[in-house]
Amino acid sequence: MAKRTSLIAVSLAFVLGACTSQPATTPASSGATPTEPGLIETSLPASETPKTGATHREPCLVGSAGGLTAYKRPSTQAEIFGQVPDDNPLQVSGLTQDGWIGFDPGVAQAGNTGLFRLRWLPPSSGSLQGDCETLPTLPSLPANVCFTMAMGEEPIFSAASESAPVVGSLQVNAYASVVSRTPDDWLELDLAVSSMGLSRPGWIPAAAANFNGPCGRFGPVPDAVPITSLPPGSMIEFEEISMSDLDHGWAVGGLPNTDQHILRTVDGGKSWVDITPPEPNSGAGADPKQASAFFQAGGKAQVTYWYSDPTRAPLVLSLWVTNDWGSSWQSAGIRLFADLAEAPPLIDFVEDGNGLLLIRYFVGMGNHAYALLASSDGGQNYTTVLEPQDTVDTCQRNKLILFDAQYGWMTGACPFLVDEGALLEVTLDAGRTWDEVSLPTPPMTSGEAGVLYCEAVDPHPFSSEEGLLLVRCQGEGEKILESYLYSTDDGGQNWDIEAFPATAAYFLDRQHGWALGKDIFWSEDGGQTWQPRKSVIWEGDFNFLDAEHGWAIARSGTEVALVRTADGGATWSLIEPIIAAP
């Protein structure tokens, strides 16, 4: 797989700085349950207590003339965090006994606390400069162990019961390794591999865990209460719509600020039946669950649910499939990922049941990654074909489109490469490898009109030779300054570039398509010329069946509406959709 070089732009605002340190304190007993005799409760063993009494006159820095590889744990077996550029020295937070160099990357890390905020450089991988003599000695966290990190005081019990004696507690920034999970949702901890240093097991409720590392098998078990069906007569808002013909179609939507629902219409969008799978609800006080879906002809659909709360870790994806318009659903299981998603999953399938599921992450320091899952049976089962550690670079993927079971396009943006930032990757083997296709530099370059970067969007592969996509160049505030239509007839070896009059492209075939925005245009010659169709006051997410019939989710400010056209976008009529009785 061809990849762009990773980049880390490091901030010097550190949480675990090396300049000052605080002695460990002895936590107070909870008092709720008697403490088992003979055990001393501590938050950090003496070997992990930072050194005190020294004042750094200047920070300890590490740098290298050849660039450095940073890891998420102090081990070369750990996941790679990214590449540190050779012109950016890092402030060191501490060293392990075997010489690994810990530093805080200074980026947002939702859920990570204490040592788990650090990233690591191998021993002797760079030269230390400054006052480094009194750096604290940090524990060496093993690479392939699941830990729970404490964000507040958490009591640890001697058995899997709240009536059992308390053997200690995890204080803020403390940690312990997780070794098993019981059917009634208790986690067994190995306190010998923890900041407590006790040679015994302990237990906490699974709901109290804050995971870090390979924790998939220990992840949260969702509430058994499914998402409640929308009551008949409800006025609904849509997130996504996909029509199969003039009458039958699908949608993702529901009531504002609630778990999203899967909906079906048989009257062109006037009324909708709630056919949501038996997905457990998000629970009281939790952010709502979002749904990503791919809808196919013949009543087939693949749906994944995930929490919209970006601080939840691990990322939990529950997968569903239906072949009968949602009359019945089959669970394709639950997948757990240690990192936090930066955008909704992307799903695409072809008619023979082959498809891909893309999960996108923000890794930190300008780096992004993704995991890719493949299915050959319509989404009933998935296998992982690419892991996040194999895909780290500075590019963000925004769309995934398959032409057949083997061939597909993926588009995105590489913001650090301004003129060459538009990204197109092609797979010939069902997503197992991706090759980057060289796109010509757009006419508007970084030296003109404040362009920050360009991105490739709206890919349309029509065959292994023919295809087109849109390249948009953006300025401050994500304002789109110019757009260009790129088309190829030789598999991407050569590209024709045409000015594009809008911000989104929707093509039915190689010749016929729309330029979409607040001004709507139609083309019958592959985008060489455009005919004005309509100017509107809203932004839309569009779905067209043919050259005449289409639907759009229209958004203006906080208002959302469903509209429809029967003349190719020249006029639009308002639909006031409601929930119908099953």
**Tens-place pLDDT, residues 5-46:** 444 333 323 222 333 333 333 333 333 333 333 332 333 333
The answer to whether 290 touches 260, Cβ cutoff 8 Å, is yes
418 confidence band (pLDDT: 50, 70, 90):
low
65 confidence band (pLDDT: 50, 70, 90):
low
The predicted pLDDT at position 260 comes to: 96
Length of the chain: 582
Both 209 and 247 in one domain: the answer is: no
Both 117 and 12 in one domain: the answer is: yes
Task: Tell whether the model's pLDDT for residue 274 goes beyond 90.
Answer: yes
Mean pLDDT rounded to a whole number for the chain = 84
State the CB neighbour count (10 A cutoff) for residue 79: 20
Task: Tell whether the model's pLDDT for residue 375 goes beyond 60.
Answer: yes
Give domain status of residue 302, yes or no. yes
User: What are the tens digits of pLDDT across the range 281-295?
Assistant: 887 667 889 999 999
Both 135 and 265 in one domain: the answer is: no
Both 208 and 228 in one domain: the answer is: no
Both 293 and 277 in one domain: the answer is: yes
The predicted pLDDT at position 219 comes to: 60
Give domain status of residue 80, yes or no. yes
559 confidence band (pLDDT: 50, 70, 90):
very high
The predicted pLDDT at position 435 comes to: 96
The predicted pLDDT at position 506 comes to: 98
The predicted pLDDT at position 444 comes to: 72
The predicted pLDDT at position 525 comes to: 97
The predicted pLDDT at position 397 comes to: 96
Give the dihedral sign, CA 372/376/379/380: negative
Both 195 and 321 in one domain: the answer is: no
Q: Which of 77-81, 160-164, 268-272 has the lowest mean pLDDT?
A: 77-81
The predicted pLDDT at position 336 comes to: 66
Interatomic CA distance for residues 63 and 104, integer angstroms: 14
Give domain status of residue 503, yes or no. no
Which of 139, 172, 189 terminates a domain? The answer is: 139
Peptide bond into 288 cis (omega under 30): no
Burial of 474 (C-beta count, 10 Å sphere; 0-12/13-18/19+): buried
514 confidence band (pLDDT: 50, 70, 90):
very high
What CATH number did the domain enclosing 185 receive? 2.30.30.40
Query: Which pairs with CB-CB distance under 8 Å and at least 24 residues apart come from 505-510?
Result: 505/457, 505/458, 505/460, 505/468, 505/469, 505/470, 506/458, 506/542, 506/544, 507/460, 507/468, 508/544, 508/546, 508/547, 509/462, 510/462, 510/466, 510/468
pTM of the model: 0.69
Distant-in-sequence, close-in-space partners of 279: CB < 8 Å, separation ≥ 6: 222, 226, 227, 259, 289, 305, 318, 320
Give domain status of residue 416, yes or no. no
pLDDT above 70 covers a percentage of the chain that reads 83
Both 288 and 268 in one domain: the answer is: yes
Both 239 and 331 in one domain: the answer is: yes
340 confidence band (pLDDT: 50, 70, 90):
low
Give domain status of residue 380, yes or no. no
339 confidence band (pLDDT: 50, 70, 90):
low
Which of 218, 245, 265 terminates a domain? The answer is: 218
Give me the half-sphere count of Cα atoms (radius 13 Å) on the Cβ side of residue 139.
21
User: What are the tens digits of pLDDT across the range 149-180?
Assistant: 988 899 999 999 999 999 999 999 999 999 88
Give domain status of residue 397, yes or no. no
Both 78 and 105 in one domain: the answer is: yes
Give domain status of residue 415, yes or no. no
Parallel, antiparallel or unpaired: strands 289-295 and 301-307: antiparallel
Angle made by CA atoms 110, 75, 113, in degrees to the nearest 5: 20
User: What are the tens digits of pLDDT across the range 465-509?
Assistant: 999 999 998 888 778 889 999 999 999 999 999 999 999 999 999
Task: Tell whether the model's pLDDT for residue 218 goes beyond 80.
Answer: no
**Among candidate residues 105, 113, 101, the one with its CA nearest the CA of residue 212:** 113
Tell me how far the alpha carbon of residue 194 is from its chain's centroid: 29
Give domain status of residue 176, yes or no. yes
Residue 67 structural domain: 1-20+56-139
Interatomic CA distance for residues 140 and 385, integer angstroms: 31
Q: Is 417 helix (H, G, I), strand (E, B) or coil?
A: coil
User: What are the tens digits of pLDDT across the range 297-329?
Assistant: 899 999 999 876 655 555 778 899 999 999 999
Interatomic CA distance for residues 470 and 412, integer angstroms: 11
Which of 139, 170, 192 terminates a domain? The answer is: 139
Identify each DSSP E strand in 19-67 by its residue range.
61-63
Both 312 and 232 in one domain: the answer is: yes
In the chain, the number of structural domains is 3
User: What are the tens digits of pLDDT across the range 101-121?
Assistant: 999 887 655 568 889 989 999
The predicted pLDDT at position 27 comes to: 35
**Among candidate residues 341, 231, 199, 220, the one with its CA nearest the CA of residue 286:** 220
Both 107 and 152 in one domain: the answer is: no
The predicted pLDDT at position 338 comes to: 58
The predicted pLDDT at position 220 comes to: 54
Both 134 and 3 in one domain: the answer is: yes
Task: Tell whether the model's pLDDT for residue 73 goes beyond 50.
Answer: yes
